[in-house]
A and B are shown apart, each in its own frame.
Chain A
Amino acid sequence: EDQVTQSPEALRLQEGESSSLNCSYTVSGLRGLFWYRQDPGKGPEFLFTLYSAGEEKEKERLKATLTKKESFLHITAPKPEDSATYLCAVRIAGSARQLTFGSGTQLTVLP
């Protein structure tokens, strides 16, 4: 069965304290791994797409990496405005383009 698991469920950091969020997956044929940010009361906002093991993408304080079993979202020197829920999703071969989501990591960055 295809599964996407995110950890931890919640993470509290001090401003400037770097850390990583994990997204592990067991799927039959990965066609893309996506990271989204979701603010309270809003829809998910696209951050990154990764397609193959070894690929990395960066945007400001965020860096996403991908291996054959998992993806990490590294947050360097976070700020309070980085507080949000971060969602990981995969697109699976033969799945007609829909995404399978993990349950998310709720990140709180304290000033």
Chain B
Amino acid sequence: NAGVTQTPKFQVLKTGQSMTLQCAQDMNHNSMYWYRQDPGMGLRLIYYSASEGTTDKGEVPNGYNVSRLNKREFSLRLESAAPSQTSVYFCASTEGGVTEAFFGQGTRLTVV
């Protein structure tokens, strides 16, 4: 079982460049999430999709956009990357209700 798959694993961008982080899950989960992880800050929610066709802002949405392409896929887009967006990004999914989240392996993004 692949679970939650993220691509790419590593990326270096120049300030102002754009890119899309891809996430796919094969567990037929309804809800998907994007988090960022910074040293000493814990995981912070950027955007989430409670179900196919819906997306909502989390704690730190500025500078990001998302697309729930279908039930399996949830992408995160940086339109104009800034050094403050240097972080490790994690995608996660849940079946629904009060259940545990399953995480991908992360994308380490550096913006120079």
Of A97, A99, A104, which is in contact with the most chain B CB atoms at under 10 Å from its CB?
A97
Hey, which chain B residues are within 8 Å of A49, CB to CB?
98-100
CB-based nearest A residue for B97: A97
CB-based nearest A residue for B39: A103
Report A22 CB to chain B, min CB distance, Å. 15
Contact present for B45 and A98 (CB under 8 Å) = yes
Hey, which chain A residues are within 8 Å of B90, CB to CB?
43-44
A52-80 interface code vs B (CB 8 A; 1 in, 0 out): 00000000000000000000000000000
Q: Say yes or no: A87-B45 contact (C-beta < 8 A), given A43-B90, A97-B97.
A: no
Beta-carbon contacts under 8 Å, A10-50 to B:
31-32, 34, 36, 41-46, 49
Contact present for B100 and A43 (CB under 8 Å) = no
Bound Cα distance A36, B101 (Å)? 10
**Interface size range on B against A:** 20 to 34
Bound Cα distance A46, B104 (Å)? 12
Contact present for A97 and B105 (CB under 8 Å) = no
Count of A-B contacts judged by CB separation below 8 Å:
60
Contact present for B106 and A42 (CB under 8 Å) = yes
Bound Cα distance A111, B73 (Å)? 42
Report B87 CB to chain A, min CB distance, Å. 14
Hey, which chain A residues are within 8 Å of B58, CB to CB?
98
Interface pairs A-B: 9 shortest CB-CB? A43-B103, A103-B42, A101-B43, A101-B42, A46-B100, A32-B98, A44-B103, A31-B98, A98-B45
Contact present for A46 and B41 (CB under 8 Å) = no
Residue from A36, A91, A96, A102 within 8 A of B50 (CB atoms):
A96
Report A50 CB to chain B, min CB distance, Å. 11
Contact present for A103 and B48 (CB under 8 Å) = no
Hey, which chain B residues are within 8 Å of A46, CB to CB?
100-102
